[in-house]
Amino acid sequence: MDKLVIAIDGPSGSGKSTVGKAIARRLGYLYIDSGAVYRAVGRKALDTNTSLEDATSVARLANLSSITLEGDPDHLRVFLDGRDVSGQIRLPDASHASSVVATIPEVREAVVEKLREMARAGGVVMDGRDIGTKVFPDAQVKLFLDASLDVRARRRCEEERERGRDVTADQIREELEARDRRDCERTATPLVKAPDAVFIDTSDLPLDAVVERALEIARTRSQT
Ligand code: C5P
């Protein structure tokens, strides 16, 4: 198959990363978790006591930081200025910080540039909120995944518990709602479905079925 760009967007818990990793594994593509880059910027702001509201300083951090993703889709490690921060970027404070810094237009510009550079060689699956609309508007395959808030909260809750965090479904639901609101209401590339993205509601669909559907679309696009 040609070296396609496969863009997967959608809110937290919609199944993007599970589906994205599986597609990348099946096609032997690079998997890029764009949220991890925003999380690394949020982590750095917290660790350097930079106010999340100070757009100029946070944008400077985003521009000056080295953020790299290494390893195969199932063992992805995130490095911030050479330090492995894979665990620290998943902590609740980093989840919140990433969502706040992602509203700053200059931060988004810096991250978009890094993401395009990471995907330079092609043959990539990238997931996020603006991949099909902004990062790769010409991606050959675009998916927009969504699911009900209940299903998304349940998925996130399971993931958080696997990481050892003692959370309730209500707590996760509130966090998701706040992050969804920030993603959808920000002026800089809010979370919207690209007009040419295929919409898939994953609430009642096994994620394997979504992967098969995506691969089918990729096969079709590869022949055109
Ligand atoms: O996908 P994940 O939840 O790890 O992303 C962390 C945060 O980064 C999200 O809450 C969202 O606000 C932001 N993000 C974004 N654009 C992307 C990817 C993530 O705004 N392409």
Q: What is the pLDDT of residues 42-62, one digit of tens each?
A: 999 999 999 999 999 999 999
* Predicted confidence (pLDDT) per residue in 92-103, tens digit: 999 999 999 999
Confirm if 18 and 147 have CB atoms less than 8 A apart: no
24 and 93 inside one domain: no
Q: Is residue 63 predicted with pLDDT exceeding 80?
A: yes
* Domain boundary pick from 79, 95, 122: 122
Q: Is residue 19 predicted with pLDDT exceeding 80?
A: yes
23 and 128 inside one domain: yes
Whether the CB of 127 sits within 6 Å of ligand 1: no
Tell me what the mean pLDDT of segment 121-132 comes to: 96
| Euclidean distance between CA atoms 1 and 223, whole angstroms | 8
| Euclidean distance between CA atoms 72 and 77, whole angstroms | 9
209 and 185 inside one domain: yes
CA distances to 31, 48, 137, 142, 178 from 61, rounded to whole Å, are 24, 9, 26, 30, 24
Q: Indicate the number of domains in the chain.
A: 2
> What pLDDT does 224 receive?
65
* Predicted confidence (pLDDT) per residue in 148-184, tens digit: 999 999 999 998 898 888 889 899 999 999 999 999 9
Whether the CB of 44 sits within 6 Å of ligand 1: no
Backbone phi, then psi, for 219, in 5-degree steps? Answer: -60, -45
Nearest protein Cα to ligand 1, atom 5 = 35
Q: Distance from the CA of 26 to the center of ligand 1, in angstroms?
A: 24
170 and 114 inside one domain: no
24 and 135 inside one domain: yes
111 and 64 inside one domain: yes
Please give the residue range of the domain that contains residue 49: 37-122
Sheet holding 67-70, edge to edge: 67-70, 77-80, 83-84
